[in-house]
Amino acid sequence: MKKIALEEHFFTRSHLEYLRSHKGYPRLETVKGPDGRALEQLQLMPGSIQVMPQALLERLQDLGAGRLAAMDRGGIELQLLSLAGPGVEEFEVGDGTALARTINDELALAMRAHPDRFMGLATLAYADPKRAADELERCVRELGFKGGKLNSHLAGEYLDHPKYRCLFEAAQSLGVPLMLHPKDPPPAVLTALCDYPGLTQAAWGFAFDAGTHALRLIASGLFDDFPRLKILLGHLGEGLPFWMARIDNHFWRAPGARIRKKIADYVRANFIVTTSGMFGDAQLKCTREILGADHVFFAVDYPYESIEDAVRFIEAAPLSDEDREKICRGNAQRLLALPHRAAVQQEAV
In terms of DSSP bridges, do strands 27-32 and 38-45 run parallel, antiparallel, or are they unpaired?
antiparallel
Tell me the one-letter amino acid at 62: D
Say what the pLDDT of residue 341 is: 40
Q: Check pLDDT > 90 for residue 239.
A: no
Residue range 318-334: average pLDDT?
A: 97
Integer angstrom CA distances of residue 110 from 7, 80, 104, 120, 173: 17, 12, 10, 9, 26
Rounded-to-integer distance, Cα 143 and Cα 146, Å? 9
Q: Tell me the per-residue pLDDT of 85-104, one tens digit each, with 9 for 90 and over.
A: 899 999 999 999 999 999 99
Q: Are 18 and 29 in contact (CB under 8 A)?
A: no
Residue range 109-133: average pLDDT?
A: 97
pTM listed for this prediction: 0.89
Q: Tell me the per-residue pLDDT of 5-47, one tens digit each, with 9 for 90 and over.
A: 999 999 999 999 999 999 999 999 998 888 888 889 988 888 7
Residue range 62-82: average pLDDT?
A: 97
The sign of the torsion formed by the CA atoms of 12, 17, 23, 28 equals: positive
Crossing angle for the helix pair 54-61 and 13-21, to the nearest 10 degrees = 140
Say what the pLDDT of residue 248 is: 86
Q: Check pLDDT > 70 for residue 125.
A: yes
Nearest residue to 123 via CA among 141, 99, 95, 144 = 99
Residue range 228-257: average pLDDT?
A: 86
pLDDT band at 195 (very low <50, low <70, confident <90, very high): low
Rounded-to-integer distance, Cα 276 and Cα 279, Å? 8
Q: Check pLDDT > 90 for residue 252.
A: no
Q: Check pLDDT > 50 for residue 343.
A: no
What positions carry a catalytic annotation?
Answer: 301
Give pairs for 24-31: CB < 8 Å, separation 24+. 25/90, 26/86, 26/90, 28/52
pLDDT band at 348 (very low <50, low <70, confident <90, very high): very low
Question: Does 200 or 271 have the greater pLDDT score?
Answer: 271
